[in-house]
A = this chain, B = another copy of it.
């Protein structure tokens, strides 16, 4: 790797001049010098060492991304959106799989700080974000990519879809189709998003006066299990229980698409047909939703826009103590055949 000194020698100038060139202080040199430097850089294939640059300026062009598990297609989609947004701004992304373990999150955060990252984006915030606050107080900019503002701890920026609206739209859609016996299938209220979605479901069903026709079916995740790639399998089991309930719900809303995929597979095993026997709404609108049989209605999060906002939070954080912002995006209902028929 060529250094700035190699370039300086090749161009017959000092390292300072090359540095001036690199930092657009072009007024400090004649066009001729400028061209010589440019030529030398091209010739040597020179790229400034980010490491040296970082040590000198204290600023990195690197951000940390914490997700429970990238193997989960939802977090894969998030990781891709964040990386693209970061790249567009000249930033690199360091990937960390936390398995929803606070201890591991803390460990990663310490490593990332030692690496000098500009900030971290966390893809899923546990309900109890004090360990994130702790990071924020140590001077790290933290953006929670999930969970509403209420759940945010001090010093943490929030960029999230409106998780209350997500279930509200789902319920409204189903009620408009004539459904009343609607069951919301969810995992334990461990994350901010899950809590908000549950809240939205409760409020919407109450507003529509569904009474106890609206049900909540909570599936239990194994202890100490991040569960992300087995959520779908748990859905298969949950479908059995749901098939047996009487009266059986006419519509299901799943906490997320992965769970919905499992539910759909389980229902099919019991001869229950979607949408004829039961309607189904997923959440997240993974690319898999439109490949299901039948294609599934789901609530889409504007991931690209959200990713850009999240990265901007970190990049723009030039001003010392930027107040913790909270950006909430509206979800979009994507109607497909899993809710094609009216109830009754």
Q: How many Å lie between the Cα of A110 and that of B69 in the bound state?
A: 28
**Chain B: CB-nearest residue to A69:** B80
Partner of A291, one of B80, B114, B116, B232: B232
Given A51-B51, A268-B293, also A96-B71 (CB < 8 A): no
CB-CB contacts of A71-87 with B at 8 A, as 1s and 0s? 11101110110011001
A305 CB contacts on chain B under 8 angstroms: none
- Asked whether any CB of chain B lies closer than 8 Å to the CB of A265, the reply is yes
- Asked whether any CB of chain B lies closer than 8 Å to the CB of A144, the reply is no
Q: How many Å lie between the Cα of A51 and that of B60 in the bound state?
A: 10
**Chain B: CB-nearest residue to A267:** B293
A214 CB contacts on chain B under 8 angstroms: none
**A19 CB to nearest chain B CB (Å):** 15
User: Which segment, of A42-50, A176-184, A201-209, A320-328, faces chain B?
Assistant: A42-50
Q: Is the CB of B95 within 8 A of A111?
A: no
**A41 CB to nearest chain B CB (Å):** 13
Q: How many Å lie between the Cα of A287 and that of B216 in the bound state?
A: 27
Q: How many Å lie between the Cα of A60 and that of B51 in the bound state?
A: 10
- Asked whether any CB of chain B lies closer than 8 Å to the CB of A212, the reply is no
Give residues of chain A (48-76) contacting chain B, Cβ–Cβ below 8 Å: 48-52, 54-55, 60, 62, 65, 69-73, 75-76
What are the nearest 7 A-B pairs in CB distance? Answer: A76-B76, A47-B114, A71-B80, A95-B95, A71-B77, A50-B115, A71-B76
Q: A51-B60, A51-B116, A229-B287 are in contact. List 10 more A-B contacts (CB 8 A).
A: A50-B116, A51-B55, A62-B115, A70-B83, A71-B77, A80-B97, A83-B95, A92-B115, A232-B288, A233-B290
